Structure 1
Amino acid sequence: MAAGKQGKAAGNIHIGIGGWNYAPWRDNFYPAGLAQARELAYASRHLTAIEINSTYHGTQKRTSFANWRDATPDGFVFSVKASRFATNRRVLAESGDSVARFIDSGIAELRDKLGPIVWQFAPTKQFIADDFEAFLALLPDAVEGVALRHVLEVRHASFMCDDYLKLARKYKAATVFTDSPKFPSFADPTSDFAYARLMNAQAKVKTGYAPKDLDAWAARATAWAGGKVPDDLPRVGAAAGARLKPKAIFLFFINGAKEHAPAAAQALLDRLGWQPAEAVPMKKTAARKAA
Structure 2
Amino acid sequence: MGEIRIGTSGWVYPPWRGTFYPAGVTHKNELAYLSQRLGSVEINGSFYALQRPSSYQKWASQTPEDFVFAVKGSRFITHMKRLRDGDALLANFLASGLLALGPKLGPILWQLPPNFVFDPVLLAEFFGHLPRTTTRAAEIATQHDHRVDPGFTTTDAERPMRYALEIRHPSFITPQFTELLATHDIALVVADAAGKYPLIEEATSNFVYIRLHGHDELYVSGYTDDGLDMWAAKIRSWAADRDVFVYFDNDAKVMAPRDALALQARLGGCPGRTHRGAEDGPTPM
Which of the five TM-score ranges fits, normalised by the shorter chain? 0.7 to 0.9
For residues 8-64 of structure 1, give each alpha carbon's deviation from its aligned partner in whole angstroms, at most 9, with x where no partner exists.
x7x710001011110111121111131111110000001111001000000111011
- Map of 1:18 onto structure 2: 9
Instruction: Look up the SS of the partner of 1:147 in the other structure.
Output: coil
Q: 1:65 pairs with 18, 32, 56, which one?
A: 56
Are residue 223 (structure 1) and residue 237 (structure 2) matched? Answer: yes
Are residue 263 (structure 1) and residue 262 (structure 2) matched? Answer: no
> d(CA) in 1 for partners of 2:102 and 2:82?
32
Instruction: Look up the SS of the partner of 1:51 in the other structure.
Output: strand
Contact persistence 1:215–1:271 (CA under 8 A)? yes
* Aligned ranges 1:94-243 → 2 under 5 Å: 94-143=85-134, 144=155, 145-180=158-193, 181-200=195-214, 208-227=222-241
- TM-score, L = length of structure 2: 0.83
Higher relative contact order (CA 8 A, sep 6+): 1
For residues 235-272 of structure 1, give each alpha carbon's deviation from its aligned partner in whole angstroms, at most 9, with x where no partner exists.
xxxxxxxxxxxx20000111264511100000011111
CA spacing shift, 1:262–1:202, aligned 2, 3 Å = farther
Contact persistence 1:12–1:249 (CA under 8 A)? yes
> d(CA) in 1 for partners of 2:128 and 2:211?
24
- Map of 1:3 onto structure 2: none
Contact persistence 1:151–1:195 (CA under 8 A)? yes
- Map of 1:241 onto structure 2: none
CA spacing shift, 1:207–1:178, aligned 2, 3 Å = closer
> d(CA) in 1 for partners of 2:74 and 2:50?
8
For residues 166-202 of structure 1, give each alpha carbon's deviation from its aligned partner in whole angstroms, at most 9, with x where no partner exists.
2111110001011111111101111010001001156
> d(CA) in 2 for partners of 1:18 and 1:219?
22
1:90 Cα offset (Å): 5.8
Amino acid at match of 2:188: T
Are residue 39 (structure 1) and residue 30 (structure 2) matched? Answer: yes
Contact persistence 1:96–1:138 (CA under 8 A)? yes
1:147 Cα offset (Å): 2.4
> d(CA) in 2 for partners of 1:20 and 1:276?
18
RMSD: 2.1
Contact persistence 1:197–1:253 (CA under 8 A)? yes
Identity value in percent = 38
> d(CA) in 2 for partners of 1:272 and 1:226?
13
> d(CA) in 2 for partners of 1:16 and 1:91?
28
Q: 1:52 pairs with 43, 60, 79, which one?
A: 43
- Map of 1:248 onto structure 2: 243
Contact persistence 1:207–1:264 (CA under 8 A)? no
Greater CA deviation, 82-91 or 124-133? 82-91
Are residue 272 (structure 1) and residue 267 (structure 2) matched? Answer: yes
Instruction: Look up the SS of the partner of 1:73 in the other structure.
Output: coil
* Number of matched pairs: 253
> d(CA) in 2 for partners of 1:160 and 1:256?
27
Amino acid at match of 1:272: L
- TM-score, L = length of structure 1: 0.81
1:67 Cα offset (Å): 1.1
CA spacing shift, 1:104–1:90, aligned 2, 3 Å = closer
> d(CA) in 2 for partners of 1:161 and 1:99?
28
CA spacing shift, 1:155–1:36, aligned 2, 3 Å = same
> d(CA) in 1 for partners of 2:236 and 2:90?
33
Unaligned runs of 5+ in 1: 1-8, 228-246, 284-291
> d(CA) in 2 for partners of 1:280 and 1:146?
34
Amino acid at match of 1:210: T
Instruction: Look up the SS of the partner of 2:247 in the other structure.
Output: strand
1:146 Cα offset (Å): 3.7
Greater CA deviation, 32-41 or 141-150? 141-150
1:94 Cα offset (Å): 2.0
